[in-house]
Amino acid sequence: MARNKIDNQAEGDSNSSRRDFLKKSSLLTAFALAPPTLVMASEKKWDEKIAEYIETVSLSIEVNGTKHNLSVEPRTTLLDLLRENLQLTGTKKGCDHGQCGACTVHVNGTRILSCLSLASMQQNAQVTTIEGLSKGKKLHPMQEAFIKHDGFQCGYCTPGQIMSGIACIKEGHANSREEISEYMSGNICRCGAYHNIVDAITEVKEGGKKL
């Protein structure tokens, strides 16, 4: 997102584009205006962009063990927060409408769809994404099993499949191939790696490791 790009931009970056310059100057304008002026600007819709800068809410959220104190627009989804604000692009945006499961993450230990979750409603939540599974260079058992069983082709649905697969076992819904298929049905794989995904989940379940 524009604001983060501005925050992260190295000083003296000679590749600074005209677009970035405009974004920067519009942001500076927003800061320069006194609050009453901003409210008036917002009410009269003088500059919707300026108004947008103040229509944010503060959010404390823990992602993969790191605490963040952020300012987000109420309309920002958890998926966009992860990908655009925190640069955690492992979680994928597939359909963005809750139909594919590519955006599955764990919030407070439960698998949910981040594309249908408003970040502003995740106050003090603990979020785990695919980036938070490995311990150093050691992959999570489910990641190992997906590699071993070839549980993907293009890989786009894989982060969601892995997050969902771990939850499927933790919930106690991995007791048969049929049950795994049913409780993984919210994760669509266009390549059709389903059989191997079920193999991977079955192996992790039978391995009995604490996930």
Partner 1 sequence: MKNFQIIKALSSASAVSGIKKESSAMFIAGGTNLVDLMKKNVVAPDKLVDITGIDLKKVEFLKGKVSIGALAKNSQVAEDSSIKENHPLLALALAAGASQQIRHMATVAGNMLQRTRCPYFYNTDMPCNKRVPKSGCGAIGGSNRMHAIFGASDSCIAVHPSDMCVALAALDATVLVEGPKGKRQIKFTDFHRLPGNTPEKDNILGEKEMITYVEIPDNKFNKNIHYLKVRDRSSYAFALVSVAVALDIQNNTIKDVKLAMGGVSHKPWRLTEAEEFLKGKAVSETIFKQAAALAMHGARAYGENNFKLTLGPNAIIEALTIAASK
Interface residues with partner 1 (CB under 8 A) are: 52, 55, 57, 73-75, 77, 96-98, 101, 104, 110-113, 116-118, 120-121, 164, 167-168, 171, 173, 181-183, 185-187
Q: By C-beta, is 9 or 42 nearer to partner 1?
A: 42
57/144 with CB nearer partner 1: 57
- Beta strands 57-63; 126-128: pairing state: parallel
CB of 101 to partner 1, least distance (A): 6
CB of 193 to partner 1, least distance (A): 17
The nearer residue to partner 1, 57 or 211, going by C-beta atoms, is 57
| Shortest Å, Cβ 138 to partner 1 | 27
Q: Are 200 and 166 in contact (CB under 8 A)?
A: no
Nearest approach, Cβ of residue 112 and partner 1 (Å): 5
Question: Smallest distance, Å, CB 181 to partner 1?
Answer: 7
Alpha helices (H) along 12-101? 18-32, 35-44, 48-54, 78-80
| Dihedral sign of CA atoms 30, 10, 92, 159 in order | negative
Name the one residue in this structure whose structure tokens are 């405009």: 22
Nearer to partner 1, 40 or 147 (CB): 40
C-alpha 116: how far from its chain's center?
Answer: 11
Is 177 in a helix, a strand, or coil?
A: helix
Crossing angle of helices 158-170 and 141-148, rounded to 10°: 120
- Single-letter amino acid code for the residue at 21: F
Q: Please say which residue, 85 or 187, places its beta carbon nearer to partner 1.
A: 187
**What φ, ψ does residue 5 adopt, rounded to 5°?**
-60, -40
Residue length, the chain? 211
CB of 200 to partner 1, least distance (A): 17
Q: With respect to partner 1, which residue has the nearer C-beta, 66 or 185?
A: 185
Residue 122 burial (10 A CB sphere; 0-12, 13-18, 19+): buried
Say how far apart CA 134 and CA 188 lie, in whole Å.
24
